[in-house]
Amino acid sequence: MIEHPAFPVDQWCLRELELHDDLLAQTESLFALSNGHIGWRANLDEGEPHALPGSYLNGVHEIRPLPYAEAGYGYPESGETVINVTNGKVIRLLVDDEPLDLRYGTTVSHERVLDFRAGVLRRALHWVSPAGQAVKVTSTRMVSFTQRSIAAVCYEVEAMGGPTRIVVQSELIANEELPRQNSDPRSAAVMKHPLNAMTHSHQGTRVNMVHRVAHSGLGVAAAMEHMVVSPEGITPVAESSPHLGRVTLATVLRPGQRLRLIKFVAYGWSSRRSVPALRDQVDAALTAAALTGWEGLLDEQRAFLDNFWRDADVEFDGDAEVQQAVRFGLFHVLQAGARGERRAIPAKGLTGPGYDGHAFWDSEMYVLPVLTYTLPDAVAHALCWRHDTLPLALERAEQLGLRGAAFPWRTITGAECSGYWPAGTAAFHLNAAIAAAVTRYVSATGDEDFAEKAGIDLLVQTARLWRSLGHHDNEGAFRIDGVTGPDEYSALADNNVYTNLMAKRNLLAAYEYVHRFPRRAQELAVGDEEAASWRDAALAVVVPYDDKLGVHSQAEGFTNHQEWNFSATPRENYPLMLHYPYFDIYRKQVVKQADLVMAIMQCAEEFTDEQKARDFVYYERITVRDSSLSSCVQAVVAADVGQLDLANDYLAEAALMDLADLEHNTADGMHIASLAGGWIALVAGFGGMRHNGDTVSFAPRLPPGSSRLTFSVRLASGRLRVIVHPGKARYQFQGSDHIRFLHYGQPVTVNSGQDVEMSTPALPARARATQPPGRDPRSRRGDAWKD
């Protein structure tokens, strides 16, 4: 969409100048609103036309059967799928008895704006009915960051011709008809009408509905309240039924007169609370929202976002499209996690049903790093959700014959939902990602209370998993065999470098925490011998290296595999997993997403500069990026090894993943991890930021064509602002005392209120790495983004 003339570049908003039917599904995702608890896809106010209606509550799901051609021990018996809950967005309009439907009549103008600073979706429409009656409609929609259970709409209608009879119907709709998303008829049947009515009521302009999800048993409540401003007195009519609540308003507007309807919608859900308690919960939320009022909600939203952008904004001069895309991405990352509060951050956020609404490892490895330095409270909640699911992870490990905790590859509640175990269960690196998120958060915030409670629990149980999963060979080396690393085009590999190095960090962190919190270590029954075994395993972990080629082998023996025949692979046959059997892919040198390269990014201290450069070039030529998670990692390491043009291209790919619909599935929801990757590519790539233990370091550099990069990071000691220009970097600190960090390895101390400038060395010139034929990123050089 970024290249479509209907979407001009605007650095602080996403603007659509006209509606295009063929882009409805994508724009419903792009313009979606969420606060991490409630998610509303950007369906039109009138409900139709639409591609995929979507109203979501984080954690609300249905249980569905998982089909297997052949059953096996340890296979999950059922899956979890996010469901479309009660839709409170719909406000239908009839103009002289004709429904406002953009498929009929004449649309004179239609504009939508997603405002990143105000946190609202605005819409302006000039429509002429088939009978020739003209109206202007404006609406502003929000999902509140400050009142977690509340979403709201301000809907205004203005008559443009003669006296116009106006009827407005504000609705709550349960069990909407949806396009079929699953080819399995058993699952489709389960998902068709997942909400069973429990109670409904209406009084005045308030409607309340409570449902229970058929198989998961979750209770879901939704309620709406209204405020009306009209030149003539209006008597609203409310009604309710098991799956529909409606408030109807009717009036006659003279030319220039307006009807204004403010609609507050409240949501709540629980696996435990009773139906009356859920009903009362949403009633109370509505009362609080009405007390605040529409203008009050807008003011709260703006103040919340002012604070967020003060810490989170990244300014990147030289590429207006990327600047817009990075802010767009940060806004969606915020929406995905701000008010999740002990719930997961799904891969698609709450913008669509993609991946069944599941959370994966990319939450901890892509999304939480951004939030750690911009909105750390959200990280604590996300990690507390992992801690809440620890009993299920302990049970899963026991089922697999392992000690400690085996967290699920994909899940909503904490139960494993992956039926394909080579890419699911065997991808144990997820557990190290959780451990890394714990240590990063604690180091950045100084939250010792979290560290002593949830943090040490997660570290100890994941360390126990690694110690039981791996073994010492006859020479004393610690091996972790038969696992799947981030690259899902290789499965059941021995000693995957990324997995082993992340496990090493996990084991050493657990060793450090049990000595830091001896009372908790005693409660967890960690003795000196067990802790010492973690340290011994970490220091002896195997890191495969191919001496002949002079590069690290992604996993043991990987560089001996036959190379994939890229020259014989048509461009339309990507992604490979949709056109070739996994058996063939698994035994060839072809990489779905940067795996060894991610090890370089996450564990930079384990590689020399020369090894980084050689490894990067080697794996670039076999990495096809069939995953949206790859480009930001490649951007970071390309910048690290001095390939700044290439890093810039990968930055754009990560940041524009959904605005350009590069994976052709934005219709199913946003790629939250890739959107987080825009920030990562700038801050960790061109900012050169690394955070290892208690050491924060920077190695800033700019790509050709860029004159400035500015970003801030929140740390326990305060806020550090980094301003990068060609050849120099300036550091500004606001905090209680001072901050210490490394600049290109040199210790730097900046006192609060001080401004320190450092020179940046020129990087050695290196030849640009090459990619498989047809898989190179689109270049940012020149005036247009071209193939």
469-487 tens-digit pLDDT: 999 999 999 999 999 999 9
Measured at the alpha carbon of residue 690, what is the angle toward residues 536 and 710, in degrees to the nearest 5? 170
Among 16, 321, 488, 606, the one annotated catalytic: 488
56 in Cβ contact with 355 (< 8 Å): no
Q: Report the C-alpha gap between 389 and 114 in whole angstroms.
A: 35
CB neighbour burial string for 116-143, b if at least 16 within 10 angstroms, e if fewer: bbbbbbbbebbbbbeeebbbbbbbbbbb
pLDDT of residue 190: 54
Query: Is the peptide bond prior to 49 cis by the omega test (within 30 degrees of 0)?
Result: yes
Q: Report the C-alpha gap between 266 and 86 in whole angstroms.
A: 10
345 in Cβ contact with 359 (< 8 Å): yes
100 confidence band (pLDDT: 50, 70, 90) = very high
Q: Report the C-alpha gap between 674 and 654 in whole angstroms.
A: 5
Region 528-540: what's the mean pLDDT? 98
Q: How far is residue 527 CA from its own chain's centroid? A: 38
Region 192-199: what's the mean pLDDT? 94
549 in Cβ contact with 615 (< 8 Å): no
Region 148-162: what's the mean pLDDT? 96
How does pLDDT run across 69-91, given as a tens digit for each residue?
Answer: 777 888 888 899 999 999 999 99
How does pLDDT run across 695-741, given as a tens digit for each residue?
Answer: 999 999 999 999 999 999 999 989 999 999 999 999 999 998 999 99
Q: Is the pLDDT of residue 412 over 70?
A: yes
Region 248-254: what's the mean pLDDT? 96
Q: Alpha helix locations (H) across 313-375?
A: 320-337, 362, 368-372
Region 638-666: what's the mean pLDDT? 96
For residue 583, what are the CA distances in angstroms to 29, 330, 398, 553, 587? 34, 38, 29, 20, 7
**Tokens 């599941």, residue located:** 358
DSSP label at 762? P
Dihedral sign for Cα 389, 395, 396, 397, please: positive
39 in Cβ contact with 54 (< 8 Å): yes
**Tokens 């002896």, residue located:** 540
pLDDT of residue 783: 42
Region 579-591: what's the mean pLDDT? 96
Cross-strand bridge partners of residue 715 = 718
**Tokens 């951004």, residue located:** 370
182 confidence band (pLDDT: 50, 70, 90) = low
User: 46-55, 297-306, 774-783: which has the minimum mean pLDDT?
Assistant: 774-783
Q: Is the pLDDT of residue 260 over 70?
A: yes
Dig out the tokens for 255 from the structure.
Answer: 């030319």
Q: Report the C-alpha gap between 446 and 441 in whole angstroms.
A: 8
Quote the crossing angle between the two packed helices 630-640 and 609-620, to the nearest 10°.
140
Q: Is the pLDDT of residue 376 over 90?
A: yes
The 3-state DSSP class for residue 387 equals helix
Average pLDDT, the chain: 95
364 in Cβ contact with 433 (< 8 Å): yes
176 catalytic residue (yes or no): no
**Tokens 């719909």, residue located:** 90
Dig out the tokens for 584 from the structure.
Answer: 């063939």
pLDDT of residue 399: 95
pLDDT of residue 66: 85
Region 757-777: what's the mean pLDDT? 92
In the chain, the percentage of residues whose pLDDT exceeds 90 is 91
The 3-state DSSP class for residue 258 equals strand
Please give the model's pTM, rounded to 2 decimal places: 0.96
Q: Is the pLDDT of residue 782 over 60?
A: no
DSSP label at 764? P
Q: Which residue has the higher pLDDT, 72 or 225?
A: 225
Q: Report the C-alpha gap between 27 and 29 in whole angstroms.
A: 5
For residue 487, what are the CA distances in angstroms to 196, 637, 647? 41, 16, 20
DSSP string for 462-512: HHHHHHHH-EE-TTS-EE--SB--S-TTS-SBSS-HHHHHHHHHHHHHHHH
Dig out the tokens for 10 from the structure.
Answer: 């605007």
129 in Cβ contact with 105 (< 8 Å): yes
Largest CA distance in the chain: 91
pLDDT of residue 125: 98
Residue 144: CA count within 13 A, CB half-sphere: 25
By C-alpha distance, which of 484, 506, 485 is closest to 405?
506
Burial class (CB in 10 A: 0-12, 13-18, 19+), 678: buried
Q: How far is residue 10 CA from its own chain's centroid? A: 22
Q: Is the pLDDT of residue 187 over 70?
A: no
- Three-class HEC string of 172-203: EECCCCCCCCCCCHHHHHHHHCCEEEEEEEEE
How does pLDDT run across 736-755, given as a tens digit for each residue?
Answer: 899 999 999 999 999 999 99
pLDDT of residue 93: 98
pLDDT of residue 2: 65
159 in Cβ contact with 240 (< 8 Å): no
pLDDT of residue 181: 62
Q: How far is residue 767 CA from its own chain's centroid? A: 34
